Structure 1
Amino acid sequence: MRFTLAQPVTLFCLLSLTSMSAVAADDSPEFSGYIGGGVGEKPNYSGAKDTKTEFIPAFKLAYGPLFVGGVDDLVALGWDVVKTEHWTFALGAGTDISPRKESDDDHLHGLGDIDVTPRAFTSATYENSWFKGSIIATQDVGGNQQGFKLASYAHLQWHPVENLRLYTGPTLSWADSDYLQTQYGVTAAQSERSGLSRYTADAGIEKIGWDVGMDYVVTPSWLLGARVTAQRLQDDAADSPVTQQASQLTGVLFLAWRF
């Protein structure tokens, strides 16, 4: 049995360590997973200038190719449709269980809450001993006009000692106009309530960033990890009146029990 760890594009809502499922030598299905959490520091919302400290849960449960856990910024039920030595292709559905709320920051007063909506996802991940990269596509399937998002990361990874993994690399997310309008747009009604200028966000790159992380296997059952991501909003996301600060920094320190 071998455990490996992967870094998601986003650190928050749910901390996801996406490659910790275990497969027996005879390929028979096996129940596996992890549970834990940590303390994270993140912006009050995407584009906020102020930050907050909060508990970040971490979990994944898997039975063979089926899993429940974090995918990008979703809590999702998924299926590893194809899994080879280096490639994993998955699909499923989930939701962001804590979308932006008006109460998250004084600057959001009058904008209202973003609704919880179901999203379908598909992902392709490649990994070898020194590299891990993934592309994750998600689409609103709840009829709430929250659109399509494409997120990606490319990490160089290495093991200076057997029980320590270090990694670093870029991230990028692109979204259509429905998604960006939901996150960064200001309708006429919202403008009247909030005092912010009316704003329409078009499709384009949402943010680019850089990840740095560490996973340390304390014992066969316990893992200590750290994640830091620096991101900068781009184009219409950066120019939005909702955005107070384009540069965003997030970080988390966590402990997880594996079984």
Structure 2
Amino acid sequence: MKSLKRCTTVALWAGTLSLATGSAALHAEDWKYGVRGGVASVPRYSGSDERTVAPIFGGEIISPYGLFLNTDQGLGWGHEWGDLSFSTWVGPSEERRDKNHLGQGSKRLKGMGQIKSRAQFGAHLGYDLGPFELGATVTHAVKKNDNKDTGSAYSQLQLSIGTNLYEGRLGSLDASLNSLFGNADYMQTWYGVSGTQAANSRFSAYRAKGGLVSNGLDLEWTLPLNEQTKLSTLLSLQYLGKEAGDSPIVDRRMQTVLGTQLEYSF
């Protein structure tokens, strides 16, 4: 079950739109290419009660040898062995701005500093149980700079279980449940407020501990228009855990993403 990719901050699909972070290109018999475009309504950052409409643009190339290049993950390799699948990749991490910028960030975060994108390594392991698909995805973003507030290395783990609810004349409807976990550096980078940040912003200091980031539900409806074109719509619900939800930058623990995109493959 392939889902849309997650977006920056809560998701611009990812991130992204897809909250099944580990969907990746696998073995192909021939070179394959794809492009997509659409729009998504997303929170301005994880925990925000402000929303914005952001454009979706993307593409991918899949080689016959399992190598792939796409705008969601970057450069990687994937393969399937029966019901077991594995992929690994390197690409850019998410980012967050402390001002309104092209559908990202928010001026409410002024003084928090920019979390800049940096190199990120990822790996996904999936297992097909017939009606259900289990997935585990781990990512590690490398250190950006010596700024402990926004430049530290961090890691996250996502566990998911997905299934197909409907497949027929009206297309297909897929659902997945997922849980996201982050280490202490991840939580502090995205939800913590250091003393320096507190002095420069409207927020009080907050030290975030590692652990559960969020639990979520994704629903994706896909309608094939012809052999090469399909229309996909995603509704993603993410409820932030206590450690993230107690952060002073979080105004709403329930985060929703709604997006639609047109995909063309050849």
Task: Identify the TM-score tier after normalising by the shorter chain.
Answer: 0.7 to 0.9
**Equivalent in the alignment of 2:132:** 131
Structure 1: which amino acid aligns with 2:124? Answer: S
Tell whether the 8 Å contact from 2:12 to 2:42 is kept in structure 1 after alignment.
no
Task: Tell me if 1:42 matches 2:42.
Answer: yes
The CA deviation at 1:21 is 5.5
The CA deviation at 1:109 is 1.0
**Equivalent in the alignment of 1:27:** none
Computed over aligned residues only, the root mean square deviation of the Cα atoms, in angstroms, reads 2.2
Distance 2:36 2:200 in 1: 41
Q: Deviation per CA, 1:136-173: give whole Å up to 9, x if none.
A: 10012345423110012211114431672211131110
Structure 1: which amino acid aligns with 2:115? Answer: I
**Equivalent in the alignment of 1:76:** 74
The CA deviation at 1:106 is 2.7
Structure 1: which amino acid aligns with 2:59? Answer: F
**Equivalent in the alignment of 1:170:** 177
**Equivalent in the alignment of 1:61:** 61
The CA deviation at 1:195 is 2.6
- C-alpha spacing 1:20/1:33, structure 2 compared with 1 (3 Å): farther
Tell whether the 8 Å contact from 1:61 to 1:69 is kept in structure 2 after alignment.
yes
Task: Report how many residues are paired.
Answer: 245
Tell whether the 8 Å contact from 2:25 to 2:68 is kept in structure 1 after alignment.
no
Q: How does 1:1-259 map to 2 (within 5 A)?
A: 5-7=1-3, 10=6, 12-14=11-13, 15=17, 18=23, 23-24=28-29, 30-64=30-64, 65-69=66-70, 75-80=73-78, 82-96=79-93, 99-103=95-99, 104-127=105-128, 130-142=131-143, 144-161=151-168, 164-259=171-266
Q: Please identify, of 233-242 and 86-95, the stretch whose mean Cα deviation from structure 2 is larger.
A: 86-95
Distance 2:229 2:26 in 1: 15
Tell whether the 8 Å contact from 2:25 to 2:77 is kept in structure 1 after alignment.
no
Distance 1:21 1:124 in 2: 12
Distance 2:201 2:31 in 1: 49
Distance 2:130 2:69 in 1: 25
The CA deviation at 1:94 is 1.1
Over the matched positions of the two proteins, sequence identity in percent amounts to: 22
Instruction: Give 3-state SS (helix, strand or coil) of 2:198's partner.
Output: helix
Structure 1: which amino acid aligns with 2:98? Answer: E
- C-alpha spacing 1:83/1:227, structure 2 compared with 1 (3 Å): same
Higher strand share: 1
Tell whether the 8 Å contact from 2:165 to 2:175 is kept in structure 1 after alignment.
no
Distance 1:78 1:20 in 2: 8
Distance 1:124 1:243 in 2: 31
The CA deviation at 1:20 is 6.1
Instruction: Give 3-state SS (helix, strand or coil) of 1:219's partner.
Output: coil
Tell whether the 8 Å contact from 1:49 to 1:244 is kept in structure 2 after alignment.
yes
Instruction: Give 3-state SS (helix, strand or coil) of 1:100's partner.
Output: coil
Distance 1:112 1:130 in 2: 45
Tell whether the 8 Å contact from 1:110 to 1:194 is kept in structure 2 after alignment.
yes
The CA deviation at 1:207 is 0.5
Tell whether the 8 Å contact from 2:216 to 2:239 is kept in structure 1 after alignment.
yes
**Equivalent in the alignment of 2:102:** none
Structure 1: which amino acid aligns with 2:88? Answer: L
When normalised by structure 1's length, the TM-score is 0.87
Instruction: Give 3-state SS (helix, strand or coil) of 1:190's partner.
Output: helix
Tell whether the 8 Å contact from 1:34 to 1:257 is kept in structure 2 after alignment.
yes
